Amino acid sequence: MDQRSRRRGEGRASGRRQLARALRTGAWLALLGFTSPARARAGTSPAESPSLAAVSRALPLLQQSAMTWFTKRSCISCHHQSLGALTVALARERGVAVDEALAKALDERVAASLPAAREDVLLGDAGINAQVGLSWKLLGLAASGYAADLHTDARVRFLAAQQHQDGSWRSGSRRPPLEDSDLAATAVAVRVLQLAAPPGRAEEFAERVARARRWLVAATPRDGEELALRLFGLAWSGAAPTLVEAASRELAQAQRSDGGFAQLPTRASDAYATGQALLALNQAGGMAIEDPAWQRGAAYLRSTQLPDGSWHVATRRFGEGLAPFDSGFPHDDDQFISYAASAYATSALLLEQRPGRSPLWSTITPLPRAATTVVEPPLPPLVEAILAGDAAAIDRALAAEPADASLAAAGRAGLTPLMAALPDAALVARLLQAGAPIEARAQNGRTATWLAAAQDGALESLRLLLRAGADARAADGRGATPLHAAALSGDVRKTELLLAHGAAIDAVDAEGCTPLVFAGFQGDVAMVEWLIDHGATPNATVATGESALLLATQDGRDKVALLLLAKGANVAARDAEGRTALHWAARVDRGDSRLLERLLAAGADLHAKANDGATPLSIARASGHLHHVAALRAAGARE
């Protein structure tokens, strides 16, 4: 992202200054009306407190590595920046010293990324896996004292529009564990919507949170990340206490005999899962830190910390992604997950310094709002009025002569008034009647129709646009059509509308992906089934040669893969490297071997060799997935 410097002008609202001051002085709890427990005993030394000693070793490394990140990359990370900011804020709250100069520099560097990308976010270009990334970024900013403003409004507006039809948010990439879970994506999105809702949308956002809560209640967690984040999500979304208690018990029962927790049933305890679990059990589940189970977890963390202050956790990432680089954190290819693990572990141990709930992790109190003194770049007055929900300003702009100029005015990236109005069908109808251009394109090639197909809550706006003659096939700059966007949203009603207006069910984007492949990326079984039942090809392949089945298997989307098999997908299909779905099932570890076993039952070739001679068995063995090795050998695989 563009990291141009951003001035925090003297005109910031007093509420923001008060919150920032409170964060830096440890007065957060008092500011929000909480009675904070007694401060840590004055003069406590690391020698007297093992957990404080561990924290004191970890914090300097966490802070310095977060800054080093910016010397190598311009992007904002969930682990180095967001989890790091939450850890620093928690330390400050608990009376533990941090490097305030470095913390301020980090906060300003992250905040500087907001203004320039505002319009891009509103047009749907919000970065890789923005449903997860933006949520964590905003949580990190909130922890650092950043108040809600027009820049956060744009991002929260985007997040709201990405809510899936079933109430969840979907993780758009599979980078375990931090970006690998729809449960986690839903939990953090819910918290952001509650902390930073734009003005005038409280009722809508309350309904969105209720939808998400219903989804979280019904969801079944399958790994440590999902057990912990579901517990957080239930607490944040206001689920019944009995449901929160049940989720807390379920997480507590996953504790191992060594006191730690594991990311997957097939893996050993580690600091990532343990720190995360202890934080969730105490802050969301109400488990006291004096509880013997919690203390066993804390002892596990203290015993596994390395002398340099870090905790080492092996990466589970495979395939393409951000190439490792030296961020100043140890552990080479494992440094990103190890940083996240160290942040979670440090946060958990910080809870012992001043027991009690933290607003950072347990309280839903909306952020104070700040006047945005600099908006870069500016948007046309009618667009700004629509985004702000300023009815009087909208009336003035539409009454001005010539009205056509206001209706056609767009931002530097092409955001038009019609595009900005999509959540409000009545306003869309008014703009269309006034002559708003229907087929205007943003720089990314997206039309109002494309954006309406992508956004949750814009069904009626899509209907109005199509009735007015909008092109249902108009692809964006990457070749994705409105039907691709609707498939991602999970709203079957949109796909029905688009097909009725001439959309092509097997249209391909620049990478050869069909709407069915898009739905598969989301793990959306219902949408995949609907598309196949209405003529989509189950054996669709992308430009690189992978079939929908191969892609679902690579992503660990078991249910999608099984549905594709049932609908006639070719179990023997191979990618460019000669790997079948069975090869990929042996490579991916989701904690069990169910998908691998189902592929075998569907006729997968147990001894198929990839171009490099690898078999499913050799891949499972090289990956260290002993449960897959056992399943393959039980089916007859031999060396």
Span 59-106, pLDDT tens digits: 999 999 999 998 888 788 888 999 999 999 999 999 999 999 999 999
Whether residue 10 has pLDDT greater than 60: no
Whether residue 561 has pLDDT greater than 70: yes
Residues 473, 504: Cα–Cα separation, whole Å:
7
Q: Where are the alpha helices (DSSP H) in 162-201?
A: 182-195
Model confidence band, residue 374 (pLDDT cutoffs 50, 70, 90): low
Residues 633, 606: Cα–Cα separation, whole Å:
10
Cβ contacts of 287 within 8 Å, gap of 6 or more: 248, 252, 281, 293, 294
H helix or E strand, kind and range, residue 224: helix 224-236
Q: Which residue has the tokens 């909130």?
A: 142
Q: Strand pairing partners for 269?
A: 262
User: Which pLDDT score, from 0 to 100, does residue 320 have?
Assistant: 58
Whether residue 27 has pLDDT greater than 60: no
Residues in the chain: 639
| 77-114 as b/e: b if 16+ CB within 10 A | bbbbbbbbbbbbbbbbbbbbebeeeebeebbebbbbbb
The string of pLDDT tens digits covering residues 99-114 is 999 999 999 988 888 8
Are the beta carbons of 188 and 212 closer than 8 angstroms?
Answer: no
* DSSP state, residue 83: I
Are the beta carbons of 449 and 481 closer than 8 angstroms?
Answer: no
Model confidence band, residue 385 (pLDDT cutoffs 50, 70, 90): very high
Which tokens sit at 85? 């900011």
Average pLDDT of the chain is 90
Are the beta carbons of 415 and 442 closer than 8 angstroms?
Answer: yes
Are the beta carbons of 53 and 46 closer than 8 angstroms?
Answer: yes
Whether residue 166 has pLDDT greater than 60: yes
Apex 83 CA angle, 51 and 238, nearest 5 = 95
H helix or E strand, kind and range, residue 261: strand 261-262
What secondary structure does DSSP assign to 529-565, as a single string? HHHHHTT--TT-B-TTS-BHHHHHHHTT-HHHHHHHH
Residues 481, 474: Cα–Cα separation, whole Å:
6
The string of pLDDT tens digits covering residues 392-426 is 999 998 988 787 889 999 999 999 999 999 999 99
Model confidence band, residue 36 (pLDDT cutoffs 50, 70, 90): very low
User: Which pLDDT score, from 0 to 100, does residue 35 have?
Assistant: 32
Are the beta carbons of 450 and 474 closer than 8 angstroms?
Answer: yes
The string of pLDDT tens digits covering residues 237-291 is 999 999 999 999 999 999 999 999 999 999 999 999 999 999 999 999 999 999 9
What secondary structure does DSSP assign to 286-302, as a single string? ---TTSHHHHHHHHHHH
User: Which pLDDT score, from 0 to 100, does residue 251 have?
Assistant: 98
* DSSP state, residue 40: P
Closest C-alpha among 285, 278, 280, 283 to residue 299: 278
The string of pLDDT tens digits covering residues 444-502 is 999 999 999 999 999 999 999 999 999 999 999 999 999 999 999 999 999 999 999 99
Residues 220, 591: Cα–Cα separation, whole Å:
14
Q: pTM for this one?
A: 0.91
Residue type, 368: P
Domains present along the chain, CATH in parentheses = 14-350 (1.50.10.20), 550-639 (1.25.40.20)
**How many H helices and E strands in the chain?**
32, 2
Closest C-alpha among 282, 216, 199, 202 to residue 248: 282
Residue type, 283: Q
Are the beta carbons of 361 and 67 closer than 8 angstroms?
Answer: no
